[in-house]
Structure 1
Amino acid sequence: MIPSQHLMTQNLAPVGYGSDANLVSSAALPPHGLVTAEDISPYCMAPTGQLGGDAMQGGWPEVHLLDQQPNFEIILPNQRGGKRGPFKDPSLREQTAQTRKIGSCIRCRMQRIRCENNPDEEGGPCLTCKKVSNSRAGRFPCLRYKITDIRLFKPGQVPGYEWTRRWNNNISDPIQNWASDELKTIYISDGLSNKCVKIEVRQFIPQTGDKLERTWDYRGTKRSVSIPPYALVNLEVVKEAYQDHIRDSMKDAFGRLLGPRNGLLFKTYERAWHIYQDQSTSPECHELLHQTLMLWMSVRLTTRSSFIVGNETLGMRRDILDATSPNHGMIPLPPVLGAQLDLILIHHIQTRLRRELLDKLQKMMSKNKQSTWLVTYLVVFILLHNTALITAHDAGYAKKHGMKRRFAREEKVKEYHLGANILLAHFHYCNKGIYPFSEDCKDQDLRTLAGLDEEKIKFVHTTTSYARRNRPEWEEIRQAGAYEHDYFFVSQLFEANWQPRTTI
């Protein structure tokens, strides 16, 4: 870890931004109720009924939890036996090879049974799922989804709007041609806390492909301003500084980004934070929550504009961005320096966190243990909300630069939304037998099946009330295709008979 002096707390004027993501005000939480399903799986919990129920205790507990799901009567696998040898039957070998090529569906993979490809309907439901199509188990769609395919952050700059072409291969080669030997210390703020990152920069000699101005669109006219060419001196030191900053500013960011403190978003993240901090949390749950929260916070830093604060402004005036700019009054980062920070955050921090997080999440959901139900729910909730936030960022970027399309990276946005469907599909599959967010679910079920204490049970009840109260509004959001809305994806956790949605 980098010494603490790299992270400075200063009482600086609040940093304002011109294009904030949509935050949803939460309505007052009414009473609630929960629902039990006909079957209670000894392996996991899940929903079967509709949300509803009579009024119940009102406020959120100090720390909370939530979760819910539809009803799918699916038999969980017994423990795997010994390793088998190669199939002697040529048709079975061919079938296995085909399954490896196209992937097995969620039901077959989770139950560890043969996923038989249907040669008469390539890409359609497998023959194994066809056999149960008329049963309750058949309500769950046959989906060849893999958790490790999920995309959780932007890959880099929008094509045609790159800040530099120096590192197109994502290899952070150091800058060689400097214009000055003088090192300058600046402080960078993302506006999500009163903490900032201290870094050293140096003026460099620009080369072809380096962007030397900041641009924006104002009423259909392109505006720009020249920015002095400064860049990072030591990327490894800055990487360590940002890792510390991500951890230390995360809790503050909740208050800036998650709406009212009594709302579903804030309370759910707060619950995740408290479980993460709890000494009694198991190592596997602690590590998964740690990586989820770290990734979530690091993605916020690459989907918001950061600015220079403090006395050193690299020669830029306070009014360098005029009144037509959405960031008027702020000191922008030099573009090449911004590209270096993206390189650090995306390719050195987020890529590793994503790989480790999704691998752990896949293993946890495959085991489908009762004791991890709450943590699994919280992680899925946060990742679904992240999908809405990165979608909103993409829409905001397209608007800022006057693009004639809804999203700056339309193909990438499709990948983000596929990732949301993958998360929802796995979550809805695993949650069967009992529906924690329905009125028939008893407190005793929550205690024995999920190991919840009274505080967490109260959180489930309050979440149920919130979901029931907001169900009509959430349905309107989904029908309108408001993918940027905080609740477009999260609300689908509460659909009793969920089906994947096609977005753009």
Structure 2
Amino acid sequence: MTLYKTGQVPGYEWTQRWTKGTSDPIQLWASSEIRTVYVSVRYSTEQLPLKVRRFVPQEGDKLERTWAYQGTKKSALIPPYALVDVEAGTSAYTTYIRESMKDIFSTMLGNEEDLLYKTYLLAYHMWQKEERTSEAFGLLNWTLRLWVAIRLSTTSAFIVGKETLDMPANILDESSPDHGKIPLPPVMGAQMDTILIHHIQNKLRHELLDNLQKVMLRNKPTSWLVTYLVSFILLHNIALITKHDASYAIKHGMNRRFAREQKVREYHMGANVILAHFHYCNKGRIPFSDECEDKDLRALAQLDEEKIRFVRATRALVQRHQQEWNQARSNGVYEDDYYFVSQLFDEKWQPSTTNV
């Protein structure tokens, strides 16, 4: 099941050094000077410290940042810097994912009264409160960390602070959507992608899907809520990575809806798999329907008052927004936050096809 991009868009790679997901160290450096830069994403105030060094470019290394403006390709030459130590970068990212999680949720998930915010908030609170040996903690731990890691690999990051690797503040001119920001050197960006995708996301994905399958196969009523939360977050992630693919295609003037059309199809096939499993496990139990009373939630799913209030709030929000969600689905707006998650509430769900 494909839950995230597995690399750069063909033809838009930042380097040909690590095309198979390896992270071999750079051998030929142009300077012995090691600098520390601080990297930030727009969704968090946390900063990621990374040690970098100027290297000698080789064939296949991209040395410029590009974008499209009014049908014209634009570019800016970027100095060739790369991470000194990929393992140290992996460790720094692992810490950053945990420390920036709450910031990213708060920034990305909209109004506190929205279903997205309420759902992630409950998942986050359960993750913090559950015993570390519990089934729920494991599933939420892998899910939330994976979700944040994917956001980091699909969100532009920039250098902040005094150390800018000698790049001026206006290195990206006014035609760039990122004017006024200091971009990452492309090869460094490729290293960071490799860390996120191959060192962090792959491991989390494996643990999550293996254990989620076991929980779904056991299909205990007491696992219903955590299964729902994990399914919701994974489905929302698919809408977000679809939106990223659409934005990337626009940024680079690709004249197609999605940058990675085949990958988008794979993402959506994964959504159908998640939904099929959820609805199969949920057969005969409809906690978000009016027929399901609080006493049923207490008896079957063993939910406490906080979780019962969440189910009630979700039920009300589904009823309020069902029509607009159905409209987005009818129009094939795959990038809509609720395109996939709204299908969790279908009483007679059917898999959908993707047209790109």
**TM-score, normalization: structure 1?**
0.70
**Identity over aligned residues, as a percent?**
61
Compute the RMSD of aligned alpha carbons.
0.9
CA distance in 2, matches of 1:305, 1:243: 18
Q: Does structure 1 residue 290 correspond to structure 2 residue 141?
A: yes
Distance 1:343 1:489 in 2: 28
Matched, 1:385 2:243: no
Query: Structure 2: which amino acid aligns with 1:292?
Result: T
State the partner residue of 2:102: 251
Return the offset for 1:225: 0.6
Map of 2:191 onto structure 1: 340
Counterpart pick for 2:84 among 198, 221, 233: 233
**Cα displacement (A) at 1:195:** 0.8
Name the CA shift for 1:280/1:234 in 2 (closer, same or farther; >3 Å): closer
Question: Unpaired segments of 5 or more residues in structure 2?
Answer: none
1:439 alignment counterpart? 290
- 1:206 counterpart residue number: 57
Structure with more helix by fraction = 2
Mapped partners of 2:14, 2:60: distance in 1: 8
Cα distance in 1 for residues equivalent to 2:242 and 2:204: 20
Which one-letter code corresponds to 2:84 in the other structure? V
Shift of 1:233: 0.3
Report the alpha carbon displacement of residue 279 of structure 1 after superposing the two structures with TM.
3.9
Equivalent residue of 2:217, what SS? helix
Given the alignment, which residue of 421, 426, 430 partners 2:272? 421
Structure 1 residues 186-245: Cα deviation after superposition (integer angstroms, max 9, x where no partner): 000012211111111000010100000000000100000100000000110110010000
Equivalent positions of 1:51-450 (< 5 A) are 150-280=1-131, 283-450=134-301
The answer as to whether partners of 1:197 and 1:242 remain within 8 angstroms in 2 is: yes
Rounded to whole Å, the distance in 2 between the matches of 1:282 and 1:180 is 47
Distance 1:284 1:225, change over 3 A: same
Bigger-Rg structure (1/2)? 1
Q: What is the CA deviation profile of residues 225-272 of structure 1, one whole-angstrom value per residue up to 9, with x for unaligned ones?
A: 100000000110110010000011101101111111111001100000
2:324 aligned residue: 473
Letter in 1 for 2:186: P
Aligned residues: 355
In the TM superposition, residue 434 of structure 1 has moved relative to its aligned partner by 2.6
**2:51 aligns to what SS in structure 1?**
strand
Contact persistence 1:275–1:281 (CA under 8 A) = no
Residue identity opposite 2:43 in structure 1? L
Which residue identity is paired with 1:267? K
Map of 2:312 onto structure 1:
461
The whole-number CA distance in structure 2 between the counterparts of 1:351 and 1:318 is 35
Does the residue aligned with 2:21 lie in a helix, a strand or coil? coil
8 Å contact 1:152–1:416 — kept in the other structure? yes
Letter in 1 for 2:139: L
Tell me how far apart the structure 2 counterparts of residues 438 and 343 of structure 1 sit (CA, whole Å).
43
Q: Confirm or deny: 8 A CA contact 2:132 2:138 kept in the other structure.
A: no
Counterpart-to-counterpart distance in 1, 2:345 and 2:8:
34
Distance 1:489 1:376 in 2: 16
| C-alpha deviation, 1:438, in angstroms | 1.1
CA distance in 2, matches of 1:282, 1:486: 32
Distance 1:468 1:240, change over 3 A: same
Shift of 1:411: 0.3
* Matched residue type, 2:141: H
* SS of equivalent residue, structure 2 residue 339: helix
Letter in 1 for 2:113: N
2:47 is paired with a residue whose SS is: strand
Shift of 1:459: 1.2
Letter in 2 for 1:387: I
Structure 1 portions without partners, runs of 5+: 1-149
Instruction: Quote the offset at 1:280 in angstroms.
Output: 4.8
Alpha-carbon distance in 2 for matches of 1:171, 1:357? 23
Deviation of 1:169 (Å): 2.1
Alignment check: 8 A CA contact 2:41 2:156 kept: yes
Q: Note the alpha carbon deviations across 1:433-460, whole angstroms, 9 max, x for none.
A: 2311111111111110000112211211
Tell me if structure 1 keeps the 8 A contact 2:36–2:49: yes
Contact between 1:188 and 1:196, CA under 8 Å: does it hold in 2? yes
Q: In 2, distance between residues paired with 1:282 and 1:292?
A: 16
1:351 is displaced (CA, Å) by 0.5
Give the secondary-structure state (helix, strand or coil) at the position aligned to 1:195: coil
Amino acid at match of 1:485: D
**Alignment partners' CA distance in 1, 2:320 and 2:62:** 49
Distance in 1 of aligned mates of 2:322 and 2:231: 19
